[in-house]
Amino acid sequence: MPTVRSELFIPQPPAQVYAAAKDLEGLKPFLKDVESLRVLEAHGSRSRSEWVAVAMGKKVRWIEDEEWFDSELRNTFSSAQGDFDKYQGAWRFLPEGQGTRVVLDLEYELNIPIFGGLLQKLILKLMQENCDGLLQGLKERCQAA
């Protein structure tokens, strides 16, 4: 199963970066590839959100279940509903110097018939760009606050 790792340094304290990531709807305006993002439920450390992203002109939808570990400044997520055959991963918010190293790990499987096996490398590239863009959006949001 393909995996993607994206890392980015954000010159803000870890708790502040974590809080910005946890506010998914507030993060959405900074995510260029995400057409819509809506929190469906939020109960304590758990939330469920609906995502729609655009890749190669095609919409990709999924329902994401998130668990937030406030004391550890980390998150895990997965999706059992939507276009992905498998979608799971984690965020970590690590202190580094005067800021935060954000690490996003994602495992996915996306088998869309029109893509076929030959285009799986392209999908991997798009998923990497999406994760990199997500972290860049988080950085922009933190700097705008």
Domain hosting residue 29, numbered range = 3-144
CATH for 100 = 3.30.530.20
Q: How far is CA 29 from CA 5, 26, 42, 72, 137, in A?
A: 23, 7, 20, 26, 8
pLDDT for position 141: 94
Contact, 7 vs 101, CB < 8 A? Answer: yes
For the segment 39-74, what is each residue's pLDDT rounded down to a tens digit? Answer: 999 999 999 999 999 877 788 899 999 999 999 999
For the segment 84-131, what is each residue's pLDDT rounded down to a tens digit? Answer: 989 999 999 999 999 999 999 999 987 666 656 667 788 888 889 989
Domain tally, the chain: 1
Looking at every residue in the chain, the average pLDDT score rounds to 91
pTM of the model: 0.89
